[in-house]
Amino acid sequence: MSARISVIVPTIGRETLDRALESAAVADEVIVERNQDGDHGYAARMRGMARATGTHLAFLDDDDVYAPGAIETMRAAACDRPVIFRMDDPTHGIIWKRKALDFGNVGTPMFLVPNEPDRLGRWEPYAPGLKCPGGDFMFISDCAETMGAPVWREEVVAIVAPDVARSLSITVVTPWLNHRELEQDYWAAIDHAGPCAVIVLDNGSDPPLGFATVRLDKNRGFAYACNDGLRMARTDAVLFLNNDIAALEDAWLGRITAALEPGVLVGAELRHDRHGDIDGIPLPYLDGWCLAGMTADLRELEFDEEFREPSYYGDNDLCFRARLAGMRLREVRVGLRHKGNVTAGPPSDPDVIAATLANRALFAAKVRRELVTT
């Protein structure tokens, strides 16, 4: 028997309620509860839960909407554990950002839980003595304790406050191989970035990365992982970001999104050094540790997966081909620190030297071929 979805909607009588209800109309049951308690609708949700007759419960605020097809997606994903989908938030972007029950990484319209009253969590405002900040985080954490670890789903099922002005949407794509010591600084930087989605691709780490979005069966290289993440992205733009970074300021990602537009690549470092010059011809490039573009533009380019690991000259090649296509390179002084050479290994390593020489030869051959034909 298929799941029956009960959607519980607290309301303070906003004009947006009709739009919210319309987005939930295909649910099996929609329960509207007047919020008169001054507690962000927590008591109203508890009353709605007591009235619900569906096999599974979902929750929507009166100024939010479900995305097209959301209820059907919920029905298909319903199980005996909490399911946490993604939502589009005007302040925080697409969340969840990682598969973790962290405060701020989950929100009310993302939840689908079995309607088992004895195992349901509670909606309560924060008060001294509570084990967590209360609200949606407390509810879903309690459900996970009694029902089992949540199932994390990629689908965006809800749009929070769709009337709020939204900036360019962007996905951060990060390939990752081992080096768990970089995790704390990386996620701290993401938490300070501003609105974004995040795709971390585990390139065969041993042991596997628990926070990765995707695990590849083996180390397929930086270029392959970047291209795989690019294909997965569902936002206006994509930022390729190394994992060996640390934040120097809040909202650093906003400087990148503000500089992006079709036909432009944006990065933290626009370099004009001899590393990228071929036959005395200066070939400026954006350093690949922090390089962004519009998704459609990047899909036309992609990283060349022929370059050996570590993928030196992959960024040179991408930027060279972008300039051949008439695109511009733009530097933005972003509030990040690049630790440098942490994951690639020391420049004196024989394997690194061999890969660098091979990649330079490949890049030079490509440049010479293009310059002869243009």
- Calculate Rg over the CA atoms of the chain: 24
Residue 123 pLDDT more than 80? yes
pLDDT at position 124: 87
pLDDT at position 66: 98
Its pTM stands at 0.69
pLDDT at position 131: 65
Sign for the pseudo-dihedral over CA of 349, 355, 358, 361 = negative
Q: Which residues pair with 329 in a beta bridge?
A: 265
Residue 248 pLDDT more than 90? yes
pLDDT at position 166: 75
Coil, strand or helix at 158: strand
Least confident of 13-22, 38-47, 314-323: 38-47
Mean of all residue pLDDT scores within the chain = 92
pLDDT at position 130: 62
Q: Is the peptide bond before 187 cis (omega within 30 degrees of 0)?
A: no
Tell me the pLDDT band of 229, cut-offs 50, 70 and 90.
very high
Average the pLDDT over 198-212 and give the result: 94
How many angstroms separate the CA atoms of 79 and 116, rounded? 12
pLDDT at position 275: 82
Average the pLDDT over 79-105 and give the result: 89
Percent of the chain with pLDDT over 90: 77
Q: Which residues pair with 265 in a beta bridge?
A: 293, 329
Residue 39 pLDDT more than 90? no
Number of neighbours of residue 15 by Cβ within 10 angstroms: 8
Q: Would 5-159 and 170-373 be classified into the same CATH topology?
A: yes
Residue 2 pLDDT more than 90? no
Residue 223 pLDDT more than 70? yes
**Cβ(88)–Cβ(160) below 8 Å:** yes
Q: Which two tokens stand for residue 353?
A: 């030297």
pLDDT at position 1: 63
CATH number listed for the domain at residues 5-159: 3.90.550.10
Write down the domain spans for the chain.
Answer: 5-159, 170-373
pLDDT at position 346: 72
Sign for the pseudo-dihedral over CA of 343, 346, 350, 355 = positive
Query: What is the DSSP secondary-structure string of 87-124?
Result: EEETTTEEE-SSSS--TTS--GGGEEEE--GGG-----
User: Where are the extended beta strands (E) located within 12-90?
Assistant: 29-34, 56-59, 65-66, 83-89
How many angstroms separate the CA atoms of 328 and 142, rounded? 50
The amino acid at 102 = D
Helix H or strand E segment including 296: helix 295-301
Residue 276 pLDDT more than 90? no
Tell me the pLDDT band of 220, cut-offs 50, 70 and 90.
very high
Least confident of 217-231, 255-269, 341-355: 341-355
The string of pLDDT tens digits covering residues 297-321 is 999 999 999 999 888 899 999 999 9
Residue 109 pLDDT more than 90? yes
Average the pLDDT over 130-142 and give the result: 83
Q: Which two tokens stand for residue 72?
A: 């059907």
How many angstroms separate the CA atoms of 96 and 134, rounded? 18
Task: Give the class (CATH, top level) of 170-373.
Answer: alpha beta
Number of neighbours of residue 288 by Cβ within 10 angstroms: 24
**Cβ(360)–Cβ(314) below 8 Å:** no
Name every residue whose Cβ is closer than 8 Å to that of residue 58 and which is 6 or more positions away in sequence: 5, 6, 7, 8, 24, 27, 71, 74, 109, 111, 112
Residue count (the chain):
374
Longest dimension (CA), the chain: 76
Angle (CA) 311 317 323, round 5°? 150
How many angstroms separate the CA atoms of 20 and 66, rounded? 7
Average the pLDDT over 249-278 and give the result: 92
Residue 127 pLDDT more than 90? no
**How would you classify residue 129: left for phi > 0, otherwise alpha for psi between -120 and 50, otherwise beta?**
left
Residue 210 pLDDT more than 70? yes
The burial of 342, by beta-carbon neighbours within 10 Å (0-12 exposed, 13-18 middle, 19 or more buried), is given as middle
Give the pairing of strands 264-267 and 336-338.
Answer: unpaired
**Cβ(290)–Cβ(268) below 8 Å:** yes
Percent of the chain with pLDDT over 70: 97
Looking at per-residue pLDDT, the higher value among 9 and 95 belongs to 9
**How would you classify residue 240: left for phi > 0, otherwise alpha for psi between -120 and 50, otherwise beta?**
beta
Average the pLDDT over 159-176 and give the result: 90
